[in-house]
Amino acid sequence: MKQIESIKAFGGWLNRYEHQSSSCHCTMTFSVYLPPQAATGKIPAVYWLSGLTCTDDNFRTKAGALRYAAELGLALIMPDTSPRGVAVADAPDRYDLGKGAGFYVNATQPPWSAHFQMYDYVTAELPALVEANLPVLPGIKSISGHSMGGHGALICALKEKGAYRSVSAFSPICHPVKSPWGEGYFGAYLGDDKEQWKAYDATELIKAGHTAIPILIDQGTNDEFLAEQLFPQDLQAAYAEHGATLTLRMQEGYDHSYYFIATFIGEHLAYHAKALTDPH
Protein backbone atom coordinates (compact mmCIF):
# COMPACT_ATOMS: atom_id res chain seq x y z
CA MET A 1 0.00 0.00 0.00
CA LYS A 2 1.77 3.10 -1.28
CA GLN A 3 0.57 6.66 -0.73
CA ILE A 4 0.76 8.59 -4.00
CA GLU A 5 -1.08 11.80 -3.11
CA SER A 6 -2.02 13.83 -0.03
CA ILE A 7 -4.11 17.03 0.06
CA LYS A 8 -5.19 18.87 3.19
CA ALA A 9 -8.93 19.62 3.26
CA PHE A 10 -11.26 20.78 6.06
CA GLY A 11 -8.63 20.04 8.69
CA GLY A 12 -8.10 16.48 7.49
CA TRP A 13 -6.30 14.76 4.64
CA LEU A 14 -7.48 13.49 1.28
CA ASN A 15 -5.04 10.73 0.38
CA ARG A 16 -4.68 8.45 -2.60
CA TYR A 17 -3.07 5.02 -2.47
CA GLU A 18 -2.16 2.22 -4.83
CA HIS A 19 -1.49 -1.42 -4.08
CA GLN A 20 -1.19 -4.78 -5.78
CA SER A 21 -4.57 -6.45 -5.49
CA SER A 22 -4.75 -10.15 -4.74
CA SER A 23 -8.39 -10.18 -5.85
CA CYS A 24 -8.10 -8.30 -9.13
CA HIS A 25 -4.51 -9.30 -9.96
CA CYS A 26 -3.44 -5.80 -10.94
CA THR A 27 -2.51 -2.48 -9.35
CA MET A 28 -5.58 -0.87 -7.82
CA THR A 29 -5.98 2.77 -6.80
CA PHE A 30 -8.25 4.15 -4.09
CA SER A 31 -8.75 7.39 -2.19
CA VAL A 32 -9.38 7.96 1.51
CA TYR A 33 -10.49 11.07 3.31
CA LEU A 34 -9.31 11.12 6.92
CA PRO A 35 -11.06 13.88 8.92
CA PRO A 36 -9.34 15.81 11.73
CA GLN A 37 -10.61 13.30 14.31
CA ALA A 38 -8.38 10.60 12.77
CA ALA A 39 -5.33 12.40 14.18
CA THR A 40 -6.27 11.39 17.72
CA GLY A 41 -7.98 8.02 17.37
CA LYS A 42 -9.63 5.45 15.16
CA ILE A 43 -12.87 6.43 13.45
CA PRO A 44 -15.74 4.72 11.58
CA ALA A 45 -15.75 4.56 7.79
CA VAL A 46 -18.19 5.00 4.94
CA TYR A 47 -17.36 3.19 1.71
CA TRP A 48 -18.49 4.96 -1.47
CA LEU A 49 -18.95 3.02 -4.70
CA SER A 50 -19.03 5.14 -7.86
CA GLY A 51 -20.92 4.64 -11.09
CA LEU A 52 -20.20 3.83 -14.72
CA THR A 53 -17.15 5.52 -16.31
CA CYS A 54 -16.00 6.86 -12.92
CA THR A 55 -12.79 6.40 -10.93
CA ASP A 56 -12.13 7.22 -7.28
CA ASP A 57 -11.74 10.85 -8.33
CA ASN A 58 -15.36 11.68 -9.24
CA PHE A 59 -16.87 11.48 -5.78
CA ARG A 60 -14.01 13.12 -3.94
CA THR A 61 -14.01 16.18 -6.24
CA LYS A 62 -17.70 16.60 -7.15
CA ALA A 63 -19.88 15.48 -4.23
CA GLY A 64 -18.96 18.08 -1.61
CA ALA A 65 -18.72 15.27 0.92
CA LEU A 66 -15.44 16.15 2.63
CA ARG A 67 -16.85 19.02 4.68
CA TYR A 68 -19.61 16.78 6.07
CA ALA A 69 -17.17 13.94 6.77
CA ALA A 70 -14.95 16.36 8.70
CA GLU A 71 -17.86 17.58 10.79
CA LEU A 72 -19.15 14.07 11.50
CA GLY A 73 -15.79 12.39 12.06
CA LEU A 74 -16.15 9.86 9.26
CA ALA A 75 -13.47 8.37 7.06
CA LEU A 76 -14.50 8.12 3.41
CA ILE A 77 -13.12 5.14 1.50
CA MET A 78 -13.40 5.54 -2.28
CA PRO A 79 -12.30 2.59 -4.46
CA ASP A 80 -12.02 2.59 -8.22
CA THR A 81 -14.88 1.13 -10.25
CA SER A 82 -12.88 -1.59 -11.97
CA PRO A 83 -9.44 -3.10 -12.48
CA ARG A 84 -7.02 -1.08 -14.64
CA GLY A 85 -3.86 -1.71 -16.63
CA VAL A 86 -2.70 -2.82 -20.05
CA ALA A 87 -3.28 -6.51 -19.23
CA VAL A 88 -6.87 -5.94 -18.09
CA ALA A 89 -9.62 -6.85 -20.55
CA ASP A 90 -11.70 -4.00 -21.91
CA ALA A 91 -14.48 -3.16 -24.36
CA PRO A 92 -13.30 0.21 -25.75
CA ASP A 93 -16.44 0.74 -27.81
CA ARG A 94 -18.70 0.39 -24.75
CA TYR A 95 -18.99 2.55 -21.65
CA ASP A 96 -20.98 -0.10 -19.74
CA LEU A 97 -18.47 -2.97 -19.93
CA GLY A 98 -14.81 -3.34 -19.07
CA LYS A 99 -12.66 -0.64 -17.49
CA GLY A 100 -14.79 1.79 -15.50
CA ALA A 101 -17.63 -0.73 -15.43
CA GLY A 102 -16.79 -3.45 -12.92
CA PHE A 103 -20.39 -3.56 -11.58
CA TYR A 104 -19.06 -4.93 -8.27
CA VAL A 105 -19.46 -8.59 -9.26
CA ASN A 106 -17.00 -11.50 -9.37
CA ALA A 107 -16.79 -12.34 -13.06
CA THR A 108 -16.81 -16.03 -13.96
CA GLN A 109 -16.41 -15.75 -17.74
CA PRO A 110 -13.17 -15.18 -19.66
CA PRO A 111 -11.54 -12.81 -20.36
CA TRP A 112 -13.17 -10.89 -17.52
CA SER A 113 -12.66 -13.49 -14.78
CA ALA A 114 -8.90 -12.92 -14.73
CA HIS A 115 -9.23 -9.46 -13.16
CA PHE A 116 -12.86 -8.45 -12.59
CA GLN A 117 -13.34 -9.66 -9.02
CA MET A 118 -14.71 -6.41 -7.69
CA TYR A 119 -17.14 -7.93 -5.20
CA ASP A 120 -14.35 -9.67 -3.29
CA TYR A 121 -12.20 -6.57 -3.60
CA VAL A 122 -14.79 -4.22 -2.09
CA THR A 123 -16.17 -6.51 0.61
CA ALA A 124 -13.01 -8.26 1.79
CA GLU A 125 -9.64 -7.18 0.43
CA LEU A 126 -10.02 -3.40 0.61
CA PRO A 127 -11.55 -3.24 4.13
CA ALA A 128 -8.82 -5.53 5.46
CA LEU A 129 -6.12 -3.37 3.87
CA VAL A 130 -7.64 -0.12 5.15
CA GLU A 131 -8.24 -1.38 8.67
CA ALA A 132 -4.69 -2.76 8.93
CA ASN A 133 -2.97 0.43 7.77
CA LEU A 134 -5.17 3.44 8.58
CA PRO A 135 -6.83 4.84 11.76
CA VAL A 136 -10.20 3.21 10.98
CA LEU A 137 -12.23 1.18 13.47
CA PRO A 138 -12.25 -2.53 12.56
CA GLY A 139 -15.63 -3.62 11.26
CA ILE A 140 -17.38 -0.33 11.98
CA LYS A 141 -18.39 0.63 8.48
CA SER A 142 -21.29 1.64 6.26
CA ILE A 143 -21.67 1.71 2.49
CA SER A 144 -23.21 3.97 -0.13
CA GLY A 145 -22.97 4.61 -3.85
CA HIS A 146 -24.44 6.04 -7.03
CA SER A 147 -26.04 4.28 -10.02
CA MET A 148 -23.84 1.24 -10.73
CA GLY A 149 -22.24 1.98 -7.36
CA GLY A 150 -25.67 2.19 -5.73
CA HIS A 151 -26.32 -1.31 -7.05
CA GLY A 152 -22.95 -2.32 -5.60
CA ALA A 153 -23.72 -0.85 -2.19
CA LEU A 154 -27.08 -2.61 -2.03
CA ILE A 155 -25.78 -6.06 -2.96
CA CYS A 156 -22.77 -5.79 -0.62
CA ALA A 157 -25.00 -4.89 2.32
CA LEU A 158 -27.57 -7.58 1.53
CA LYS A 159 -25.11 -10.40 0.84
CA GLU A 160 -22.66 -9.65 3.66
CA LYS A 161 -24.99 -10.00 6.63
CA GLY A 162 -23.95 -7.81 9.53
CA ALA A 163 -20.89 -6.38 7.76
CA TYR A 164 -22.31 -2.86 7.36
CA ARG A 165 -24.06 -0.75 9.97
CA SER A 166 -26.11 1.07 7.28
CA VAL A 167 -26.55 1.38 3.53
CA SER A 168 -27.80 4.14 1.26
CA ALA A 169 -27.81 4.85 -2.46
CA PHE A 170 -28.39 7.51 -5.07
CA SER A 171 -30.21 6.38 -8.24
CA PRO A 172 -29.21 2.73 -7.80
CA ILE A 173 -29.77 -0.01 -10.38
CA CYS A 174 -32.25 -1.89 -8.20
CA HIS A 175 -33.31 -4.75 -10.49
CA PRO A 176 -30.49 -5.29 -12.99
CA VAL A 177 -31.73 -8.66 -14.29
CA LYS A 178 -34.47 -6.72 -16.15
CA SER A 179 -32.44 -3.65 -17.18
CA PRO A 180 -30.43 -3.25 -20.40
CA TRP A 181 -27.32 -2.42 -18.37
CA GLY A 182 -27.75 -5.57 -16.30
CA GLU A 183 -28.38 -7.78 -19.30
CA GLY A 184 -25.22 -6.47 -20.93
CA TYR A 185 -22.79 -6.87 -18.08
CA PHE A 186 -24.32 -9.96 -16.46
CA GLY A 187 -24.20 -11.79 -19.78
CA ALA A 188 -20.56 -10.86 -20.32
CA TYR A 189 -19.26 -11.28 -16.78
CA LEU A 190 -21.43 -14.16 -15.52
CA GLY A 191 -22.57 -16.07 -18.60
CA ASP A 192 -25.94 -17.03 -20.03
CA ASP A 193 -27.50 -18.69 -16.96
CA LYS A 194 -29.82 -15.98 -15.69
CA GLU A 195 -30.30 -17.77 -12.38
CA GLN A 196 -26.66 -16.93 -11.62
CA TRP A 197 -27.38 -13.26 -12.23
CA LYS A 198 -29.84 -13.10 -9.34
CA ALA A 199 -27.00 -13.42 -6.82
CA TYR A 200 -25.99 -9.84 -7.70
CA ASP A 201 -29.46 -8.28 -7.93
CA ALA A 202 -30.82 -6.44 -4.87
CA THR A 203 -34.47 -7.07 -5.69
CA GLU A 204 -33.89 -10.76 -6.37
CA LEU A 205 -31.84 -11.12 -3.17
CA ILE A 206 -34.76 -9.82 -1.11
CA LYS A 207 -37.16 -12.12 -2.95
CA ALA A 208 -34.84 -15.03 -2.13
CA GLY A 209 -35.00 -14.26 1.58
CA HIS A 210 -31.83 -12.31 2.32
CA THR A 211 -32.01 -10.19 5.46
CA ALA A 212 -33.51 -6.84 4.46
CA ILE A 213 -31.21 -4.27 6.06
CA PRO A 214 -32.90 -0.82 6.22
CA ILE A 215 -32.09 1.21 3.12
CA LEU A 216 -32.21 4.91 2.28
CA ILE A 217 -32.53 5.70 -1.44
CA ASP A 218 -32.71 9.11 -3.10
CA GLN A 219 -33.97 9.08 -6.68
CA GLY A 220 -34.45 12.09 -8.94
CA THR A 221 -37.73 12.27 -10.86
CA ASN A 222 -35.96 13.77 -13.90
CA ASP A 223 -33.35 11.01 -14.03
CA GLU A 224 -32.96 10.02 -17.67
CA PHE A 225 -32.30 6.40 -16.66
CA LEU A 226 -35.18 5.98 -14.21
CA ALA A 227 -37.78 4.34 -16.46
CA GLU A 228 -35.60 1.85 -18.34
CA GLN A 229 -32.63 1.05 -16.09
CA LEU A 230 -33.17 1.63 -12.37
CA PHE A 231 -36.52 0.15 -11.18
CA PRO A 232 -36.54 1.39 -7.55
CA GLN A 233 -40.23 0.51 -7.38
CA ASP A 234 -39.35 -3.18 -7.76
CA LEU A 235 -37.04 -3.13 -4.75
CA GLN A 236 -39.61 -1.12 -2.80
CA ALA A 237 -42.27 -3.74 -3.55
CA ALA A 238 -39.96 -6.60 -2.53
CA TYR A 239 -39.21 -4.84 0.76
CA ALA A 240 -42.91 -4.22 1.39
CA GLU A 241 -43.66 -7.93 0.90
CA HIS A 242 -41.17 -8.73 3.65
CA GLY A 243 -42.36 -5.96 5.99
CA ALA A 244 -38.91 -4.35 5.96
CA THR A 245 -37.83 -0.72 5.95
CA LEU A 246 -36.90 0.96 2.69
CA THR A 247 -37.03 4.74 2.52
CA LEU A 248 -37.38 5.77 -1.13
CA ARG A 249 -37.32 9.54 -1.52
CA MET A 250 -38.38 10.66 -4.99
CA GLN A 251 -36.69 14.04 -5.35
CA GLU A 252 -38.67 16.28 -7.67
CA GLY A 253 -36.79 17.67 -10.67
CA TYR A 254 -33.38 16.13 -9.94
CA ASP A 255 -31.44 14.18 -12.56
CA HIS A 256 -28.69 11.52 -12.45
CA SER A 257 -25.77 13.91 -12.00
CA TYR A 258 -23.38 14.84 -9.22
CA TYR A 259 -25.39 18.02 -8.67
CA PHE A 260 -28.08 15.70 -7.34
CA ILE A 261 -25.60 13.82 -5.17
CA ALA A 262 -24.07 17.03 -3.81
CA THR A 263 -27.54 18.27 -2.80
CA PHE A 264 -28.27 15.33 -0.50
CA ILE A 265 -24.89 13.83 0.42
CA GLY A 266 -24.86 15.63 3.78
CA GLU A 267 -28.11 13.92 4.76
CA HIS A 268 -26.76 10.53 3.72
CA LEU A 269 -23.55 10.94 5.70
CA ALA A 270 -25.52 12.05 8.74
CA TYR A 271 -27.69 8.94 8.33
CA HIS A 272 -24.58 6.76 8.33
CA ALA A 273 -22.95 8.64 11.21
CA LYS A 274 -25.98 7.95 13.38
CA ALA A 275 -25.82 4.23 12.61
CA LEU A 276 -22.06 4.07 13.08
CA THR A 277 -22.09 5.75 16.47
CA ASP A 278 -25.18 4.00 17.88
CA PRO A 279 -23.95 1.87 20.83
CA HIS A 280 -26.56 -0.75 19.99
Give, for all 280 residues of the chain, the pLDDT tens digit: 999 999 999 999 999 999 999 999 999 999 999 999 999 999 999 999 999 999 999 999 999 999 999 999 999 999 999 999 999 999 999 999 999 999 999 999 999 999 999 999 999 999 999 999 999 999 999 999 999 999 999 999 999 999 999 999 999 999 999 999 999 999 999 999 999 999 999 999 999 988 889 999 999 999 999 999 999 999 999 999 988 899 999 999 999 999 999 999 999 999 999 999 986 5
Strands 167-170 and 75-79: unpaired
147 in catalytic set: yes
Of 150, 133, 15, which Cα lies nearest the Cα of 81? Answer: 150
Among the listed residues 151, 175, 256, 272, the single catalytic one is: 256
CATH number at residue 183: 3.40.50.1820
Compute and round to an integer the Cα radius of gyration of the chain.
17
Buried b (16+ CB within 10 A) or exposed e, 141-167: bbbbbbbbbbbbbbbbbbbbeebbbbb
Among the listed residues 144, 147, 166, 168, the single catalytic one is: 147
Among the listed residues 80, 218, 223, 234, the single catalytic one is: 223
Q: What is the pTM of this model?
A: 0.97
Range of the domain at 223: 2-277
93 in catalytic set: no
Provide the number of structural domains found in the chain: 1
**Full DSSP string of 135-177:** SEEEEEEEEEEBTHHHHHHHHHHHHSTTS-S-EEEES----GG
Question: What is the rounded distance in angstroms from the CA atom of residue 52 to the CA atom of residue 152?
Answer: 11
120 in catalytic set: no
